[in-house]
């Protein structure tokens, strides 16, 4: 695993930036935040008042046979009331902080998901899906865990430290100075731990993302892995990624686990110092035994927040490292917005491609000086060898990618001047790679037209010749399916995708190997249905089986991003060129 090298300065910068951005997410919940802080202050004040009552009570029972019950009982009642107030305020504070945390995390996850929908396809294509999933799910969950601990304990811890010092100063200055002088040790420990943990937790987040990506890849294509006997290599890759995550996690846990023993050691020094100096002060009459008891309790209460704050800092470092990855995603450049773009409401079916150049990678040109003019109702087939740019042209027509130069006009409008949603609404698209959402068959067919009636859905299914197999399923149109987990075949999935388009009846059609997974008999029936649907509609057809495009009005033959031949089937065969060679190769005797 390639580790990201982070300098201490970069770590601090990233951590502060992530913290500032997280703070912005708490703004809508100011009222809850104020209530949480108020309950925290009351809780701390009540907690710090308790040792005074205990000390006063100790002074009332210091001598054998000389217990002042009359004065002691009110102290006990007041102490019990203080404990009750502390418990109630802590519960209310936790309730408020939990609501803040879960609302912040909900908003963060919503923004991350919305961002995915606004990112250009080029970003999605160039990043492992597992890593994106890890950022939206796992990393946001890490932020939640860190904030849950941090909100409550950090604030109450700081208040407890300040409040304890004030209460101790009111009892005895000299003993308080002992506590203050030993305190820097705890600060040194906290700084040492926080410096190391952020870097390690950042590496842990990256490693977790890579492992998630690998597992998603292997489980999603388990049949292919098994078919090619790749299980052993997959296991090795998993072991390597798992080992890398384990190693960085152990280091992160090691440094974070240093917090408790080191701070407890400092706590012991504080308690010992207070005990020794306090005892000598009590012997000399500087304080009472009850006050010494209160002081020892305060010494414990004073050092306890350092343990908690150190633990909180460790959790926060992990949360901030994960938050940084989420904010990296949120900072990615979005698709060019459609701010002043027009909305196409009517399509005349004309498509004009003028001098278009495009490449996925700048140094490797793909589409160069491409020219194509399609009239209304024309059926245009695009053929050529693998990698020649056929599917890329579809990506450009749909504005999944924008051209580097040149123009594409649909119905006379430059597609860069119209909204993406209105442009795409004019197309019906069936791809070779099927996709079905988790839901019923009815919901999948009506994906592009949610308000479709039952009769319309059934009619579309019949046109796509999938009504028969749907009725044979246990729950018919109410059968729940998904893209990855269903018992229907690849061909049946493709038929459902075709039915989805048949329902919408778009102005223009894009068919990219739309019948590649369907048996020959059903393909003929579906092709006939498509022929009826395409009548009077502009359509683009990509097919490797050239027999399916013989009736196309215009056949574009592409090679290396250029049009090398153009015409109908008959004229291209008469030219006896590249198309004729491709066509004959599919029907020649082996």
Length in residues, the chain: 590
Mean pLDDT of the 134-161 span: 76
User: pLDDT by residue (tens digit) across 262-316?
Assistant: 777 777 777 777 778 878 877 777 777 777 777 777 777 776 776 666 667 667 7
E strands, 189-281, are none
Task: Tell me the C-alpha distance between 569 and 579, whole Å.
Answer: 9
70 is written with which tokens?
């009359």
377 is written with which tokens?
């109702």
- If phi over 0 gives left and psi between -120 and 50 gives alpha, with beta otherwise, what is residue 555? beta
Return phi, psi of residue 374, to 5°.
-115, 130
Taking each helix axis from N to C end, the angle separating 8-25 and 69-118, rounded to the nearest 10 degrees, works out to 100
Task: Tell me the C-alpha distance between 473 and 445, whole Å.
Answer: 15
CB 136 within 8 A of CB 109: yes
Confidence of residue 88 (pLDDT cuts 50, 70, 90): very high
CA atoms within 13 A on the CB side of 280: 7
Task: Tell me the C-alpha distance between 471 and 481, whole Å.
Answer: 14
Task: Tell me the C-alpha distance between 65 and 76, whole Å.
Answer: 19
CB 507 within 8 A of CB 537: yes
Q: What is the end-to-end Cα distance of the chain in Å, rounded?
A: 48
Domain ranges of the chain: 14-330, 432-504
User: pLDDT by residue (tens digit) across 474-497?
Assistant: 888 998 887 665 677 777 888 888
Three-state secondary-structure class, residue 130: helix
Which helix H or strand E contains 351, and what residues bound it? strand 351-358
In which residue are the tokens 């050691």 written? 265
Mean pLDDT of the 191-201 span: 69
Taking each helix axis from N to C end, the angle separating 490-504 and 454-463, rounded to the nearest 10 degrees, works out to 120
Which helix H or strand E contains 215, and what residues bound it? helix 173-220
What is the SS3 string spanning 493-527? Answer: HHHHHHHHHHHHCCCEEEEECCCCCCCHHHHHHHH
What is the per-residue pLDDT for 4?
A: 47
Share of the chain above pLDDT 90, in %: 4
Return phi, psi of residue 557, to 5°.
-100, 120
Our measurement of the distance from residue 376's CA atom to the centroid of its chain's CA atoms, rounded to an integer in Å, reads: 42
CATH topology of domain 432-504: Rossmann fold (3.40.50)
What is the per-residue pLDDT for 455?
A: 92
Confidence of residue 590 (pLDDT cuts 50, 70, 90): very low
CB 143 within 8 A of CB 323: yes
Share of the chain above pLDDT 70, in %: 88
In which residue are the tokens 């079905």 written? 436
Model confidence pTM above 0.85: no
CB 127 within 8 A of CB 212: no
Return phi, psi of residue 484, to 5°.
-100, -30
Task: Tell me the C-alpha distance between 154 and 297, whole Å.
Answer: 21
Return phi, psi of residue 345, to 5°.
-105, -25
Q: Does the structure show a pLDDT above 70 at 148?
A: no
Which residues lie below 8 Å from residue 223, measured CB to CB, with a gap of 6+? none
In which residue are the tokens 């006063």 written? 56
199 is written with which tokens?
């870097």
Task: Tell me the C-alpha distance between 504 and 460, whole Å.
Answer: 9
Query: How many C-beta neighbours within 10 Å does residue 219 have?
Result: 12
Confidence of residue 519 (pLDDT cuts 50, 70, 90): confident
Q: What is the mean pLDDT of the chain?
A: 80
258 is written with which tokens?
């240093």
Q: Does the structure show a pLDDT above 60 at 401?
A: yes
User: pLDDT by residue (tens digit) across 63-86?
Assistant: 555 667 777 788 888 889 988 998
Q: What architecture is domain 14-330? A: Up-down Bundle (1.20)
What is the per-residue pLDDT for 587?
A: 63
Confidence of residue 223 (pLDDT cuts 50, 70, 90): low
Which residues lie below 8 Å from residue 94, measured CB to CB, with a gap of 6+? 152
In which residue are the tokens 């990296």 written? 328
């Amino acid at each position: 695993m390639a580790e990201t090298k982070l300098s201490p300065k970069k770590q601090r910068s990233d951590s502060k930036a992530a913290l500032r951005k997280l703070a912005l997410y708490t703004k809508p919940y100011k009222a809850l935040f104020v209530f949480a802080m108020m309950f925290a202050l009351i809780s701390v004040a009540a907690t710090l008042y308790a040792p005074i009552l205990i000390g006063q009570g100790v002074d009332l029972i210091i001598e054998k046979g000389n217990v002042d019950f009359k004065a002691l009982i009110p102290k006990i009642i007041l102490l019990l009331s203080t404990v009750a107030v502390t418990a109630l305020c802590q519960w209310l504070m936790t309730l408020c902080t939990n609501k803040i945390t879960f609302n912040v995390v909900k908003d963060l996850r919503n923004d991350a998901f919305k961002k995915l929908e606004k990112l250009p396809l080029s970003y999605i294509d160039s990043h492992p899906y597992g890593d994106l999933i890890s950022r939206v799910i796992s990393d946001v969950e890490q932020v939640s865990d860190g904030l849950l601990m941090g909100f409550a304990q950090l604030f109450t811890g700081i208040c407890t430290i300040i409040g304890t010092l004030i209460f101790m100063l009111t009892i005895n200055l000299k003993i308080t100075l002992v506590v203050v002088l030993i305190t820097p040790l705890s600060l040194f420990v906290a700084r040492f731990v926080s410096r190391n943990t952020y870097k390690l937790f950042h590496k842990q987040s990256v490693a977790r993302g890579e492992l998630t990506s690998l597992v998603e890849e292997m489980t999603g294509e388990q049949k292919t892995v098994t078919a090619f006997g790749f299980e052993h290599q997959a296991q090795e890759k998993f072991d390597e990624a798992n080992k890398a995550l384990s190693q960085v996690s152990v280091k992160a846990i090691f440094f974070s686990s240093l917090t408790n023993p080191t701070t407890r050691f400092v706590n012991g020094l504080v308690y010992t110092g207070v005990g020794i100096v306090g005892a000598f002060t009590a012997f000399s009459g500087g304080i009472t035994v009850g006050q010494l008891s209160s002081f020892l309790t305060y010494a414990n209460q004073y050092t306890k927040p350092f343990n908690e704050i150190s633990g909180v800092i460790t959790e926060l470092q992990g949360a901030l490292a994960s938050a940084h990855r989420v904010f990296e995603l949120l900072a990615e450049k979005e698709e060019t917005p459609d701010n002043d773009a027009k909305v196409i409401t009517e399509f005349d079916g004309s498509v004009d491609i003028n001098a278009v150049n495009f490449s996925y990678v700048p140094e490797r040109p793909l589409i160069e000086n491409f020219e194509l003019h399609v009239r209304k109702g024309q059926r245009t087939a695009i053929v050529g060898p693998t990698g020649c740019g056929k599917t890329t042209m579809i990506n450009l027509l749909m504005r999944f990618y924008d051209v580097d130069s040149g123009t594409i006009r649909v119905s006379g409008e430059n597609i860069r001047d119209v909204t993406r949603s209105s442009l795409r609404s004019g197309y019906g698209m069936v791809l070779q790679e099927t996709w079905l959402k988790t839901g019923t068959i009815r919901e999948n067919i009506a994906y592009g037209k949610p308000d479709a009636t039952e009769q319309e859905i059934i009619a579309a299914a019949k046109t796509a010749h999938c009504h028969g197999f749907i009725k044979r399923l246990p729950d018919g149109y109410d059968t729940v399916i998904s893209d990855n987990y269903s018992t229907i075949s690849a061909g049946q999935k493709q038929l459902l995708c075709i039915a989805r388009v048949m329902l919408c009846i778009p102005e223009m059609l894009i068919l990219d190997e739309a019948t590649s997974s369907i048996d020959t008999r059903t393909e003929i029936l579906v092709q006939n249905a498509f022929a009826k649907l395409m009548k009077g509609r502009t359509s683009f057809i990509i097919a490797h089986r050239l027999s399916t495009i013989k009736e196309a009005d215009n056949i574009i033959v592409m090679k290396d991003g250029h049009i090398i031949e153009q015409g109908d089937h008959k004229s291209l065969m008469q030219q006896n060129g590249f198309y004729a060679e491709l066509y004959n190769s599919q029907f020649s005797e082996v």
